[in-house]
Amino acid sequence: MTAPSDPTLSQTSALRGHACIQDYLRQLDASPGVYRMLNEKSEVLYVGKARNLRARVSNYARASGHSGRIARMISETASMMFLTTRTETEALLLEQNLIKQLKPRYNVLLRDDKSFPYILLPKDHAYPQLRKHRGRRAVKGSYFGPFASAGAVNRTLNQLQRVFLLRNCTDSVFNARTRPCLLYQIKRCSAPCVGYVSEADYADLVADAERFLSGKSTKIQAQLAEDMAKASESMEFERAAALRDRIRALTNVQQSQGINPRTVTEADVISVHLEKGQACVQVFFIRANQSWGNRDFYPATGAGAEEPEILEAFLGQFYDGKEPPRLVLTSHQIDNPDLMAALLAERAGRKVAIACPKRGEKAELVENALRNAREALAMRMASSAAQGRLLDGLAEAFGLEGPPKRVEVYDNSHIQGTDAVGAMIVAGPDGFIKSQYRKFNIRGDGLTPGDDFGMMKEVLTRRFERLLKEDPDREAEMWPDLLLIDGGAGQVSAVAGIMADLGVDDIPVVGVAKGVDRDAGKEEFHRPGTRPFALRHNDPVLYFVQRLRDEAHRFAIGTHRAKRAKSVSASPLDDIPGVGAGRKRALLAHFGSAKAVARAGLGDLQAVDGISAALAQVIHDHLNAR
């Protein structure tokens, strides 16, 4: 890519709107590239690409003919920035990177960028484990996916267990078994751990599972039926019955799948529904002629973008870091399908087609996704309206200036001070914002074990000191409008003192304490300097606060349990420099326990594969330090 000598321009800083944009035209030529529109605070309003920068920017210089959204954007523009590229595809790629980095107000933004799960059949074991996989493909094996959710993977794994009897236990469990587990008893595993199936027969089961996940289930069913007939003729009735059960399980799998397109082997079906400025994008994953689930997304619409622009922006951002399928079916024709297909092909390393079908099975798939998008958006809008009423009620009940846009709820969890954690959950107009949840490992410097006040002080101090450092002017949306604390007058008083010390005592704090007999429904609410009060037993706001508190408690308990489980499984070998997971496994396999490793001499340590003389000395010194 190349850039002009002065990409930021700005002898035009006194101009605004059309006049500002017009003043840039004489600096531009017909090169492809990316432009940024900025307001008077130098905040990026919009990032766009162009095949011809001069022609594209000249459209904004016109005084009329713009949609309301574009007209507002132009009126706010005080300066522009430009970067030229060699090709329009490069411009599209740069545009997507800048949108992801800068998150401009007038661009369509995809908020959810989580990875999708796959099913993995590894190739590094004689009896491969069928398992769920996320992240980098570091393990050698066959990957099938993506699936829309962990639930979709778990359902498929459950079905595959019934049909193909493949193990799902870890290698350590597999190696330690001396008798078959419950899965064998309920006919969901062939018990390779204890030799109930030969390596060759297990390999046949693996091959059948791979064929099924590749869309060849009818061939498998025909082969199973033929084998069952042969077993019956040979009077091998027990084997025939087992094959019959596998055929029934496979039939049930086929019947339980809602969508099984005949003519579409591999595709993502993407439909968008737009209503009242809100959009829902529904994505269905079709692989091996089977539906592997769907997921809905709610991108920010860039202050009023239409369906084609939303879809095009969604495609560019959705497939950033995800492998595109060979075919993408869309509900609306995007403006630059060839350009987007070229970008996706570059990311996939093979051809990718984008189509907007009007008839046939592909059109039916798109219509089904569109119907789901419409229904999901209606449910979300209804939920948002109800959530808005609850936030209005919260403001009235607690005397707030207006309905809070961000409510933060804090809780601690520990067992007599051990494995202490703090938890923060966040709720707003769209419900719980789980991407904003935070956990705090209590460091406890100078704390008495079990000191809940001290723990809360540490959590809030760390939380707000960071906020003050990152956004001292409170311009971001990360500042809460209300803090809910699980506790009574003492906790609220302590929190108020902490907030005052930090200089953020203008944020309302409310303590939620169990009332008489600690019964739910009799909660008392505490605010600094006021008498405690209660809400009506059937007040929806009371139920709302209970849900918030219970969610914080659930998150805190889950975080504490995870930390406790990790500490229980901790080993003295974990902290030895140069001993990673592989060498740790080798040491434990050789000696049997960490205590035996500590008792071992230098010569014994060097006998372990991968342990040099120098590393043996390090291990010995670390474990025998006084």
Q: Which SS3 state, helix, strand or coil, does residue 535 take?
A: coil
According to the model, what pLDDT value does residue 27 have? Answer: 86
Are residue 456 and residue 504 in the same domain, yes or no? Answer: yes
Q: Which of 230, 256, 282 is the last residue of a domain?
A: 256
Sheet-wide strand order for 290-297? 290-297, 278-287, 266-275, 327-330, 353-355
pLDDT top residue among 463 and 138: 463
Is residue 176 in a domain?
yes
**What mean pLDDT, rounded, does the chain reach?**
85
Tokens of 165: 């009897």
The rounded distance, in Å, linking the Cα atoms of 503 and 509 is 14
Q: Give the closest residue to 456 by CA, choosing from 492, 482, 481.
A: 492
Domain shared by 151 and 289, yes or no:
no
Together in a domain, 366 and 328: yes
Are 117 and 293 spatial neighbours (Cβ–Cβ below 8 Å)? no
Compare 245 and 511 and report the one with higher pLDDT: 511
In percent, the amount of the chain with pLDDT more than 90 equals: 35
Among 125-134, 280-289, 454-463, 516-525, which stretch is predicted with the lowest mean pLDDT? 516-525
3-class SS of residue 307: helix
Mean pLDDT of 325-342: 94
Query: Is residue 543 domain-resident?
Result: yes
172-197 average pLDDT score? 88
The verdict on residue 472 lying in a domain is yes
Residue 463 has pLDDT above 50, yes or no: yes
**Residue 548's pLDDT is what?**
92
Give the model confidence (pLDDT) of 419-431 as tens digits. 788 899 999 998 8
Q: What is the pLDDT of residue 17?
A: 86
Residues 58 and 190 in one domain: no
Q: What's the total number of domains in the chain?
A: 5
pLDDT score, position 4: 41
**437 occurs within a structural domain:** yes
One domain for residues 483 and 579: no
Residue 103 has pLDDT above 70, yes or no: yes
Q: Which of 106, 132, 153 is the last residue of a domain?
A: 106
Give the pLDDT of residue 221.
Answer: 66
Q: CB of 270 within 8 A of CB of 369?
A: yes
Q: What's the confidence (pLDDT) of residue 443?
A: 77
To the question of pTM greater than 0.75 for the whole model, the response is no
Both 328 and 412 in one domain: the answer is no
CB neighbour burial string for 419-455, b if at least 16 within 10 angstroms, e if fewer: bbbbbbbbbbbeebbeeebbbbebeeeebeeebbbbb
Predicted pLDDT at 599: 82
**517 within some domain:** yes
| Amino acid 115: pLDDT | 79
Judge whether 461 and 410 are in contact, CB under 8 Å: no
Q: Output the pLDDT for position 393.
A: 93
516 plus 595 within the same structural domain: no
Buried b (16+ CB within 10 A) or exposed e, 251-277: eebeeeeebebeebbebbbbbbbbeee
Model confidence over 484-516: pLDDT tens digits? 998 888 888 888 888 898 888 889 999 998 766
User: CATH number, domain at 51?
Assistant: 3.40.1440.10
Contacts (Cβ under 8 Å, ≥6 apart) of 4: 27, 82, 83, 84
Structural domain harbouring 294 = 266-378
- Residue 262 CA to residue 250 CA, distance in Å, equals 18
Looking at residues 74-80, what average pLDDT do you find? 93
Average pLDDT over residues 101-110: 91
Question: 500 and 415 share a domain?
Answer: yes
Note whether 215 and 347 are same-domain residues.
Answer: no
Task: Identify the domain boundary among 235, 256, 277.
Answer: 256
Q: How far apart are the C-alpha atoms of 71 and 77, rounded to whole Å?
A: 10
pLDDT tens digits, residue range 549-575? 999 999 988 888 887 776 655 567 777
Give the pLDDT confidence score for residue 569 in this predicted structure: 53
Q: Can you give the CATH number for the domain in which 427 is found?
A: 3.30.420.340
pLDDT band at 291 (very low <50, low <70, confident <90, very high): confident
pLDDT-derived band at 437 (thresholds 50, 70, 90) equals: very high
- Over residues 130-158, the mean pLDDT reads 86
Tokens of 533: 């009060």
- Do 456 and 430 lie in one domain? The reply is yes
% residues pLDDT > 70 (the chain): 90
Q: Does residue 12 surpass a pLDDT of 70?
A: no
With respect to residue 49, please indicate whether it lies within any of the assigned structural domains.
yes
Structure confidence at residue 438 (pLDDT): 92
Residue 100 included in any domain? yes
In this predicted structure, the answer to whether residue 152 has a pLDDT above a threshold of 60 is yes
The verdict on residue 360 lying in a domain is yes
Q: Are residues 206 and 336 in the same domain?
A: no
Contact, 301 vs 278, CB < 8 A? yes
User: What is the pLDDT at residue 233?
Assistant: 80
State the pLDDT confidence band at 256, using cuts at 50, 70 and 90.
Answer: very low
Helix (H, G, I), strand (E, B) or coil at 488: coil
Same domain for 212 and 74: no
Q: Provide the pLDDT for residue 1.
A: 44
Q: Choose the weakest-confidence range: 129-143, 257-271, 387-401.
A: 257-271
In the numeric block, which tokens belong to residue 442? 């209590």
CA distance 54 to 82: 11
DSSP character at residue 436: G
